[in-house]
Structure 1
């Protein structure tokens, strides 16, 4: 797993009914749907492990999972929002909740997702491997 897709652009209006919490292993299918809708290459076994370890956050609205963020230590494996919730602050809330838990976050991503991470305050640099990818670091200060 890696990258962020369909997380959101922070220009949209926030959803006030969103609640971010630790995901439950029973929510594997719902989390995979969100990640798949974001066109992320997420492995169900890895996501299951993250859920079991408490390393997967979900954004919930009206009892439905509308966003997900999977962590590996302080590394963001994947973050995505449901298509109907993109641009409404779901990804931002997930990243902020993860930062509250970890104090530091690292993410690798392609140029199309760079504005999302820049808006959150990540320090970004090119990875230097000529594949057009970037690495960002965010610290809770």
Structure 2
């Protein structure tokens, strides 16, 4: 499996994976992020298995979405996407539902509740890059 920046031609595949994970992402914003090189894809034998939509920040990047094809979940693909993002940006932040807390905890994120938004969590991961 290879993790690399998405190409413009992969926009539809990226959106299908994000939609399949029931995550919200604006298609035009994702296009802009692909053009900027801040959308990652995990591929194997030419097939996209997962994607990470990132927003660069002054001190690292924010993960807007990590999504993996349903049939390929729990196989380390999401982990590879986050680890590659960490290598590129160093510091990562994410906001997510409590149901995916174990995923982010397993990656070493420091997690706290989002004030005023029950069930939402915020995580931070510091990596050297």
Considering the TM-score relative to the shorter chain, is it more than 0.5? yes
Query: Equivalent of 2:73, from 86, 94, 99?
Result: 86
Higher relative contact order (CA 8 A, sep 6+): 1
Pairwise CA distance, 1:128: 1.4
Query: Equivalent of 2:30, from 47, 50, 53?
Result: 47
Instruction: Report the Cα distance in structure 1 between the residues aligned to 2:114 and 2:123, rounded to whole angstroms.
Output: 9
SS in 2 for 1:131: coil
Moved more, 32-41 or 126-135: 126-135
Which is strand-richer, 1 or 2?
2
For residue 131 of structure 1, what is the aligned residue in structure 2? 118
SS in 2 for 1:60: strand
After superposition, residues 1-141 of structure 1 pair within 5 angstroms as 18-73=1-56, 74-141=61-128
Instruction: Report the Cα distance in structure 1 between the residues aligned to 2:26 and 2:48, rounded to whole angstroms.
Output: 18
Give me the CA root mean square deviation: 0.8
Aligned length: 124
Moved >6 Å (runs of 4+) = none
> What is the TM-score with the length of structure 2 in the denominator?
0.93
> What is the TM-score with the length of structure 1 in the denominator?
0.86
Instruction: Report the Cα distance in structure 2 between the residues aligned to 1:84 and 1:139, rounded to whole angstroms.
Output: 30
Instruction: Report the Cα distance in structure 2 between the residues aligned to 1:47 and 1:64, rounded to whole angstroms.
Output: 19
